[in-house]
Amino acid sequence: MTTVDVLVIGGGPVGLTAAALLGDLGVETLLVDRKPTTSSHPRAFGVHPRTMEVWRRLGVADDVRSVAVPPEHTAGIGWMTSLTGMEVGRLMFPPPPSVEVSPEPGCFCAQHRYEAVLHEAAQARAAVSVRFGCEVTAIQRPDAPRLTVVDSSTGVSEVVSARYVVAADGLASPVRQRLGVRERATGRFGHSVNVYFRADLAPLRKERPFALTWTVGPGAEGTFAVVAADLHEWTFNFEADPDHVYSEAELIAAVQRGVGDPGLAVEILDVLRWDYEQAVTDSWCVGRTFFCGDSAHRFPPHGGFGMNSGVQDAENLAWKLAAVLRWGAGESLLDTYETERKPVATYNSARALANTQALASAKWDAEHAQASVDAQVEHFFTLGQQMGTVYRSAAVIDDGQPVEQSTVTTYVESACPGARAPHVELRGADGRSISTIDLCRGRFVALVGAGAPIPDERRPASDGRPPIAWAAIGPTGDYRPIGRSWHDVYGVGDAGTVLVRPDGHVAARFAEPPSPATVAEVVQRLLGRLAG
């Protein structure tokens, strides 16, 4: 029998991110996936800035960006009668969020490429073991998980005992089904075929650098997405008959109609069929098994929040599991995973449905095309939705100050408890430039002004206590702000202190300087070790 701290089921971007984060926190983790290897299909493309920040903390943001499609080829969204036809509308993206918002702009990257990066990252963690081609076939006792794992190539089975299970096993989630967990769902309201193909479409891109192009002419309906920087790899997604088996010739013809060139040379690389569905799982935890990513929620693709929401689920859950397993936190801390993440999934689900409905009601004739484009703004310009989440749970201490909420399109920076700690560029004593979001990797961090007391020893404890780092910010502190005032952005004075959680969200904010002992006591309370 194999014994581990955490068994992660599912080797997609959510499971791989969870495993790598757990590995960084010193949690012994086994990841299994029934597939033989990572994805071969591009699948999800849009990587939001908030997701890039998570991957930055894993040290892979630059690697993901290196395999993404360059920004000059993904500068907007277009609607055309066909790729060789008439343009009927466009939405061009504004410049990436300035460095004042995030050090990590989003990118347009095919899933099979960033999955490979995440796979390598998970394998590189000493505490993580990754096994593809292994399927969970039985689950005994969710409250003390023992699972049967079968190696698909050999047929050999073994029992894995885990203190906790993270089910990141996708839309159908066999784990969710085995445990009988229900969900609130709309049911299927569409079926698509996504064709991954190779063709030279570079000549058609002049002055039309669209990441996605909807083709809306009769017989050409579908969506093209650029996959490779050389403009020779693409996907074409079209609504399809769920009962029809499409031949390669039919798929090539569908691509050719979308392009508007019946003689185009097309090489089919892969085909993926999928349903448009919306669902949020009723319970995100059964015993010691937690649902994460698509096993907890699934959205229509419009807005690109499926994978991105899942990565943030993984970040939220990973540090809490580590806190229980390594820092002595109470198990009540794990209850805040659902409390914090389920409302986000519910909201993102509603927004994805609204975006789907806006597309379905669009009219692309000359009279109505511009109004139809204008109706897509909240589909594609979603910085506020991406970055503006404010958690409310027992893992956050409210400071009683009013909070200005972000909208779908507009991100309102705030360091209120529960919010993502804003990015401020800093320069350290060694002259290097870093971000405030870099300071909380794998630990709590107390950001303090020049007038706040700090302990003599600022490094996190290594004796099993919750790790708390201290960072004095100011002209004479550990870090000097570059460009803008840390006090203004974080809403505290010179004596103020902001406590940031390992997932980059603010745990508590103090206008008056707390003692180091008070900060340590607050962390203990957040971790469920002291009564609130």
pLDDT at 34: 96
The amino acid occupying position 185 is A
Find out whether 204 and 259 touch, Cβ atoms under 8 Å.
Answer: yes
Per-residue pLDDT tens over the stretch 215-254: 999 999 999 999 999 999 999 999 999 999 999 999 999 9
Task: Give the model confidence (pLDDT) of 100-149 as tens digits.
Answer: 799 999 999 999 999 999 999 999 999 999 999 999 999 987 778 999 99
Indicate if the pLDDT at residue 292 is higher than 60.
yes
Provide the whole-model pTM. Answer: 0.96
Q: How far apart are CA 427 and CA 420, in angstroms?
A: 21
How large is the average pLDDT for residues 74-88? 96
Sorting pLDDT into bands at 50, 70 and 90, what band is 476?
confident
Is the sign of the CA dihedral 488, 493, 495, 500 positive or negative?
A: negative
Q: Among the residues of 156-215, which ranges form H helices?
A: 174-178
Average pLDDT value for residue range 265-278: 93
Maximal CA-CA distance, the chain:
74
- Residue 463 banded pLDDT, cuts 50, 70, 90: low
Query: Which of the residue ranges 37-41, 96-100, 161-165, 410-414 would you say has the lowest mean pLDDT?
Result: 96-100
Distance CA 263, CA 54 (A): 44
> Pairing state of beta strands 285-286 and 289-291?
antiparallel
Instruction: Say if residue 339 is exposed, middle or buried (CB neighbours under 10 Å; 0-12, 13-18, 19+).
Output: middle
Over the stretch 295-308, which tens digit does the pLDDT of each residue have?
A: 999 998 899 999 99
Share of the chain above pLDDT 70, in %: 97
> Which has the closest alpha carbon to 326: 458, 460, 465?
465
Kindly indicate the confidence band of residue 291, based on its pLDDT and cuts at 50, 70 and 90. very high
Between CA 270 and CA 276 the distance in angstroms is: 20
Name the band, by pLDDT with cuts 50, 70 and 90, for residue 97.
low
Other beta carbons within 10 Å of 377: 13
Q: Which of 152, 123, 154 is nearest to 15 (CA)?
A: 123
- Look at residue 190 in the predicted model and tell me its pLDDT: 82
| More confident site: 204 or 143 | 204
Position 274 scores a pLDDT of 87
Average of pLDDT values for 512-521?
Answer: 89
The tokens for 398 are 């409210």
pLDDT tens per residue, range 308-350: 999 999 999 999 999 999 999 999 999 999 999 999 999 999 9
Delineate the domains of the chain, giving CATH numbers in brackets: 2-67+109-182+280-381 (3.50.50.60), 69-102+190-275 (3.30.9.10), 388-526 (3.40.30.120)
Residue-level pLDDT at 100: 77
Q: Give Cα 512 to chain centroid, integer Å.
A: 35
More confident residue, 264 or 205: 264
Task: Assess contact for 147 and 165: CB atoms under 8 A.
Answer: yes
The strand order across the sheet containing 479-481 reads: 433-435, 425-428, 479-481
Q: pLDDT at position 493, please?
A: 86
Least confident of 6-15, 180-189, 196-205, 296-305: 180-189
Nearest to 201 by CA among 156, 233, 171, 175: 233
CA distance 326 to 462: 10
**Model pLDDT, residue 462:** 59
- 99, pLDDT greater than 70: no
Residue 98 reports pLDDT greater than 70: no
Q: Which 8-state DSSP code applies to residue 327?
A: S
Closest alpha carbon to 383 in 49, 45, 46: 49
Contact by Cβ (8 Å): 41, 270: yes
CA–CA separation, 509 and 491 (whole Å): 9
pLDDT at 532: 44
CB 319 within 8 A of CB 152: no
Measured between alpha carbons, how far is 397 from 425 in angstroms, rounded to an integer? Answer: 26
Higher pLDDT, 495 or 397: 397
The HSE-up count of residue 498 (CA atoms within 13 Å, CB side) is: 29
- Mean pLDDT value across the chain: 93
pLDDT recorded at residue 530: 57
Position 278: which residue type?
Q
> Based on C-alpha coordinates, what's the Rg of the chain?
24
Are 425 and 435 in contact by the 8 Å Cβ rule? The answer is yes
For the cut 70, the answer to whether the pLDDT of residue 57 exceeds it is yes
- Res. 459: pLDDT tops 80: no
- Which pLDDT band holds residue 368 (cuts at 50, 70, 90)? very high
